[in-house]
Chain A
Amino acid sequence: MVKSDVRAGLELPPVTHRVTRNNIVRYGRLVTGFNPLHDDDEFAQELGFEKIVAHGVLHLNYISEMLCCYAGHPNRVKKIYIDFVKAVYPGDVITARGVVREVREEGSSMRIVIDVWSENQDGVRVTDGGTAEIEAGS
């Protein structure tokens, strides 16, 4: 939860999940799939990937989960802008991270701007350059 002494440089509690092939298959069944990159190993290999690649938005949810846990309520998560920079494969362990960049007072509430990214088990960033905003107080 957001404390009153939130300030630039504060690190959010990270969120870690292992992305399994099962996650990717289940996710692919939910959203209208048009890209065989997510369910066809041969197709993925023809494009130069090791195997099927997880949907970017699947693991982007780890970042929104981290933000929501910190903000304390779903409606306080207001914005995420982010780049997907590296493929996430079945078996990868992804950690979502965030560091507060700026705290602005907006009337009776606060707008907290957070640098966000996520990295794999080797510490390599799979999403990067992210900006998120949450609301706090009021």
Chain B
Amino acid sequence: MKNNAIGKEYPSVSYEVTREMILAYSHAVDETSPYFADEETEVLYAPHTLVGAYTLLLMPHVVADKELGLDTTKRILHVHQEYEWKRTAVAGDVLTIRGRIADINSRDERKFIVFEGDIVDALGEQVVVARSTLMVG
């Protein structure tokens, strides 16, 4: 994996946070609060980890990046996560993920790669910043 990929940005990805997506996510993580799981509520909030989890929509770009050289047949572990929320996403939000490689470093013959997703709403206002550290090897 190439250290000179630090700072590299990937094409942004947009998607709509739908009620169905939120309800299915809440079901998968056993979230039962009415904020996140009430089908009848007017404003349905996305569970806090949902928007960060969907930064995985960037992964096809990352995996296809030959310059980065991430080998997905190897052991890849998610070892650290950071979220900073400006607000919680709600059903109907159209979000855009701007993803980049924030850092790559090595410790004990293992590589650590930090992906940063800056997630903004349709007005361009920041919703959350998500940073995921993957350990490779």
Q: Which residues of A contact B (CB under 8 A)?
A: 17, 23, 26-27, 30-35, 37, 47, 55-62, 64-65, 67-69, 73-75, 77-85
Contact = CB atoms under 8 A, between A and B. Distances in A.
Interface of B: 21, 24-25, 27-31, 33, 35-36, 45, 47-49, 52-54, 56-57, 59-60, 63, 72, 75-85, 87-88
Shortest 9 CB-CB contacts between residues of A and residues of B: A64-B48, A74-B88, A26-B28, A61-B29, A27-B28, A61-B49, A74-B45, A56-B78, A81-B82
A78 B84 contact: yes
B85 A77 contact: yes
Given A74-B88, A75-B87, A35 B33 contact: no
Contacts of A17: 30
B88 A75 contact: yes
Contact of B77 (A57, A65, A79, A84): A84
